[in-house]
Amino acid sequence: MTKRKNVLVVDDDPVFKLIARKLFERSGDFFEVTFAENGLEAIELLRAMIDEKLKSIPDIILLDIEMPIMNGWGFMEEFVKLPEEATQDISVYTVSSSIAQEDKNRTASYPQIKAYITKPLTVDIIRSIAGIP
């Protein structure tokens, strides 16, 4: 039996969030998905989870780059400041419609980011990053 994965999707696009929700549902009963509108909301949510020692700390974060208030890079600047013992098992994936090489290069500068995924998201991608056959 595969352990359920807690996933945090950080994206301001309502269409992407709707599609992501449907894709996770189609991927099987393996995911508990939470959504955040921007990097600030996501980092505040993570801090609260860590402070309260919640078991729902994400296993996977799908992070958009371009968002209002705090973009994906601002989120990563704050993420690396969180206690390593609380974040070491979180796999971050940037998910963006950008094909800019500079974004891909910047992704590589964060060891916490496992991969750069170009939208659209698919069931196969979701199952692959979660390690589900």
Q: Where are the domains positioned within the chain? A: 5-129
> Tell me: domain 5-129, CATH 3.40.50.2300, correct?
yes
Q: What is the pLDDT of residue 100?
A: 80
pTM: 0.93
Q: Which residues contact 69 (CB under 8 A, 6 or more apart)?
A: 37, 38, 39, 40, 41
Tens digit of each residue's pLDDT (9 = 90 or more) over 39-69: 999 999 999 999 887 778 999 999 999 999 9
Q: Which of 10, 110, 129 is nearest to 59 (CA)?
A: 129
